[in-house]
Amino acid sequence: MEEAEHILTGLVSEFPENTLVLTNIGALRCDQGDYEEAMVFFKKAESIGSADRNLYLNIGIALLNISAKTSADAQNYFKKAEGFEADEWTVMAYFDPQAH
C-alpha cells in the first residue's frame, strides 16, 4: 500500500486531471479508511466527466462509510454505476456488503 500510495501521489501531481489516477488514489484512500479524502479525488474525477463504473462504485462505498447521513446517497451512486463499464486500469475499493 505504501508503494502504491507513493506512485499514485506522484501521478496525481503530474496528471491532476487524469480520472484513472484520481479514481485509483481515491480507492487507495478508501482502503486506508480515509473516506472523506477519497471523496475529494472521486468528486474531481466525476466533475471532469469520468464514465468509469469503478468510480461510481467507489463513491458509493465512501458515502456508506462516512456517516449515516451520506450513506443515504450511496444507493444513487451504486445505481449510477450500473450504466457504465469498469475501466481496466482502475480498481474498486474493498467493500463488504455484509457489514452494511
Does the pLDDT of residue 100 top 60, yes or no? Answer: no
Q: Which of 37, 44, 76 is nearest to 60 (CA)?
A: 76
Q: What are the pLDDT digits (tens) for 53-91?
A: 999 999 999 999 998 888 889 999 999 999 999 999 999
Strand partners, 52: 85
DSSP string, 31-86: HTT-HHHHHHHHHHHHHHT--BHHHHHHHHHHHHHH-HHHHHHHHHHHHHHTTSBP
Q: What is the CATH topology of the domain spanning 2-87? A: 1.25.40
- Give the per-residue pLDDT at 99: 61
Q: What are the pLDDT digits (tens) for 10-42?
A: 999 999 999 999 999 999 999 999 999 999 999
- Give the per-residue pLDDT at 6: 87
